A and B are shown apart, each in its own frame.
Chain A
Amino acid sequence: MKKRWLAIGLTAAMITSMAACGGSSSTASKAESKPAESAATESKPAAESKAATESKTESKPAAAGDEGKVLNVEVWNDEFINRVTDHYPGYEKVSDTEGKIGDVKVNWIITANQDNAYQNNLDEALAAQADAAADKKVDIFLVEADYALKYVDADADVAMPLKDLGITDADLSKQFSYTQDVVKDANGDLRGSSWQACSAGMIYRRDVAQEVFGVSEPADVQELFKDWDAYKAAAAKLKEKGYKVTASANDTYRVYSNNVSGKWVQDGKVVVDENIKKWVDDSMELVKAEETGTFDLWSDDWAKGFFQDPDGKVFAYFGPAWLINFSMHADEDGSVGKAGGWALTTGPQGFYWGGTWICAAQGTDNPTLVKDIILTMTTDDAVMKDIAVKDSDCVNNKDVLKDLASDTSFGNAILGGQNPYEMLAAGAELVDMSNISIYDQGCNEEFQKAMKNYFEGNAASYEDALAEFEKNIKVKYPELA
Chain B
Amino acid sequence: MQKKKVSAVTSYNKWGYFFLIPFIVIFLIFQLIPLVSTVYYSFFENYRSGLKQIGPNFVGLGNYAKLLSQKHFLTYFKNTMIMWVMGFVPQIIVSLILGAWFTDPSLRLKGQRFFKTVIYLPNLIMASAFAMLFFALFADSGPVNSILINVGILEKPYKFMSHVWSVRGLVAFMNFLMWFGNTTILLMAGMLGIDSSLFEAAQVDGATATQIFFQITLPLLRPILVYVMVTSLIGGLQMFDVPQILTNGTGDPMSSSMTLIMFLNKHLFSKNYGMAGALSVILLIITGILSMIIFKTTAQNEVK
Instruction: Give chain A residues whose Cβ lies under 8 Å from the Cβ of B136.
Output: 21, 24-25, 28, 300
CA–CA, A367 to B129, complex, Å? 42
Q: Is the pair B51, A153 in contact by a Cβ cutoff of 8 Å?
A: yes
A6 touches B114 (CB 8 A): yes
Q: Are B51 and A158 in contact (CB under 8 A)?
A: yes
Pairwise interchain contact B254-A11, C-beta atoms closer than 8 A: no
Given the known inter-chain contacts A11-B117, A300-B139, please indicate yes or no for A479 contacting B162, CB distance below 8 A. no
Distance in angstroms between the alpha carbons of A21 and B272 in the assembled complex: 37
**Considering only CB atoms, which chain A residue lies closest to B162 in the complex?**
A456
Within 8 A of B (CB), among A422-450: 438, 449
A476 touches B270 (CB 8 A): yes
- Taken together as a complex, chains A and B put the C-alpha atoms of A301 and B162 apart, in Å, by 14
Q: Which residues of B contact A219 (CB under 8 A)?
A: none
Q: What band does the interface of chain A fall in when counting residues whose beta carbon is under 8 Å from B?
A: 35 or more
Knowing A156-B52, A453-B253, A456-B162, the reply to whether A22 touches B269 (Cβ < 8 A) is: no
The stretch of A67-75, A115-123, A190-198 that contacts the partner chain = A115-123
Smallest Cβ-Cβ distance to B275: which chain A residue: A478
Complex: A179 Cα to B127 Cα, angstroms: 43
Query: B57 at the A/B interface (Cβ < 8 Å)?
Result: no
B162 touches A294 (CB 8 A): yes
> What is the CA–CA distance of A140 and B181 in the complex, to the nearest angstrom?
50
| In the assembled complex, B266 has its CB within 8 A of some CB on chain A | yes
- Judge whether A137 is part of the interface by a CB distance below 8 angstroms: no
- Distance A25 CA – B139 CA, assembled complex (angstroms): 10
Are B139 and A301 in touch, CB under 8 angstroms? yes
Asked if B222 is an interface residue, CB under 8 A from chain A, the answer is no
**Interface code B123-153, partner A: CB below 8 Å = 1, 0 otherwise?**
0010001001101110111000000000000
Q: Does B280 touch A at the CB level, under 8 Å?
A: no
By size class, the interface of chain B is 35 or more
Cβ–Cβ contact A295 & B72, under 8 A: no
Tell me which of B32-40, B80-88, B197-205, B244-252 binds A: B244-252
Quick one: closest B residue to A445, CB to CB? B250
- Determine whether the beta carbon of A120 is less than 8 Å from that of B253: no
Point out the residues of chain A lying under 8 angstroms from B117, CB to CB: 7, 10-11
B111 pairs with A456, CB closer than 8 A: no
Closest to B131 in A: A25
Is B113 on the interface with A (CB-CB < 8 A)?
yes
A475 to B76, CA, bound (A): 14
0/1 string, B114-126, CB within 8 A of A gives 1: 1001100100010
Does A135 reach chain B (CB closer than 8 Å)? Answer: no
CA of A156 to CA of B49 in the docked complex: distance in angstroms? 11
Do residues A453 and B254 form an inter-chain contact, with CB atoms below 8 A?
yes
B296 within 8 Å of A by Cβ? no
Give 1 or 0 for each of B239-282: 1 = CB within 8 Å of chain A CB. Answer: 00000000011101111100000010011011110010000000
Are the CB atoms of A438 and B50 closer together than 8 Å? yes
CB-CB under 8 A from B249, the residues of chain A are 115
Q: A120-B271, A304-B141 given as contacts; is B113 within 8 A of A475 (CB)?
A: no
In the complex the two chains form, what is the Cα distance from A28 to B245 in whole Å? 12
Whole-angstrom CA separation of A145 from B218 in the bound complex: 63
A115 touches B269 (CB 8 A): yes
* Complex partner residue of B47 from A438, A465, A478, CB under 8 angstroms: A478
A479 close to B54 (CB less than 8 A): yes
Select which of B70, B114, B162, B263 is within 8 A of A458 by beta carbon: B162
Residues of A within 8 A of B250 (CB): 449
| Contact partners of A464 in chain B: CB under 8 A | 254
Q: Is the CB of B50 within 8 A of A150?
A: yes
Q: Is the interface of A mostly helix, strand, loop or mixed?
A: helix
* Smallest CB gap from B248: residue in A: A296
Asked whether, in the complex, the Cβ of A478 is within 8 Å of the Cβ of B49, the reply is yes
Whether A25 pairs with B135 at a CB distance below 8 angstroms is: yes
> Residue A62 at the B interface, CB < 8 A?
no
Residues 142-164 of chain A, each 1 if its beta carbon lies under 8 Å from chain B, else 0:
00000000110101101000000
Contact, CB under 8 Å: A301 / B141: yes
Q: Which of A86-128 contact B (CB under 8 A)?
A: 115-116, 120, 123, 126-127
A10 touches B118 (CB 8 A): yes
**Is there an interface contact between B252 and A22, defined as CB atoms closer than 8 Å?**
no
CB contact under 8 A between A123 and B48, given known A452-B252, A475-B267? yes
Taking CB atoms, residues of chain A closer than 8 Å to B162 are 294, 452, 456, 458
Output the nearest chain B residue to A19 by Cβ-Cβ distance: B129
- Verify B51–A3 contact, CB threshold 8 A: no
Residues on the A chain within 8 Å of B135, using CB: 25, 28
Pick the contact of A475: B50, B118, B139, B270 (CB < 8 A).
B270
Q: A22-B129, A28-B136 are in contact. Are A456 and B253 (CB under 8 A)?
A: yes
Closest to A449 in B: B250
CB–CB B272/A478 < 8 A: yes
B50, B72, B114, B263: the one contacting A7 at CB < 8 Å is B114
By a CB distance below 8 angstroms, the chain B residues around A21 are 133, 136-137
Enumerate the 5 nearest inter-chain pairs by beta-carbon distance, A residue then B residue, closest first: A458-B253, A25-B136, A479-B49, A156-B51, A478-B47
Beyond contacts A299-B139, A456-B253: 18 other A-B pairs, Cβ-Cβ < 8 A, are A6-B114, A10-B117, A10-B118, A11-B121, A18-B125, A18-B129, A21-B133, A22-B129, A116-B269, A153-B50, A156-B50, A301-B139, A301-B140, A458-B163, A471-B72, A475-B266, A476-B266, A477-B270
The chain A residues found within 8 Å of chain B, CB to CB, are 3-4, 6-7, 10-11, 14, 18, 21-22, 24-26, 28, 115-116, 120, 123, 126-127, 150-151, 153, 155-156, 158, 294-296, 299-301, 304, 311, 438, 449, 452-453, 456, 458-459, 464-465, 468, 471-472, 475-479, 481
Q: Would you mind naming 27 contact pairs between A and B with Cβ atoms under 8 Å apart?
A: A3-B113, A7-B118, A10-B117, A11-B117, A18-B129, A22-B133, A25-B132, A26-B132, A120-B271, A127-B51, A150-B50, A151-B51, A153-B51, A155-B52, A296-B248, A301-B141, A449-B250, A452-B252, A458-B254, A471-B72, A471-B255, A475-B272, A476-B269, A476-B270, A478-B54, A478-B275, A479-B54
Chain B contact residues, CB within 8 Å of chain A: 47-52, 54, 66, 70, 72, 111, 113-114, 117-118, 121, 125, 129, 132-133, 135-137, 139-141, 159, 162-164, 248-250, 252-256, 263, 266-267, 269-272, 275
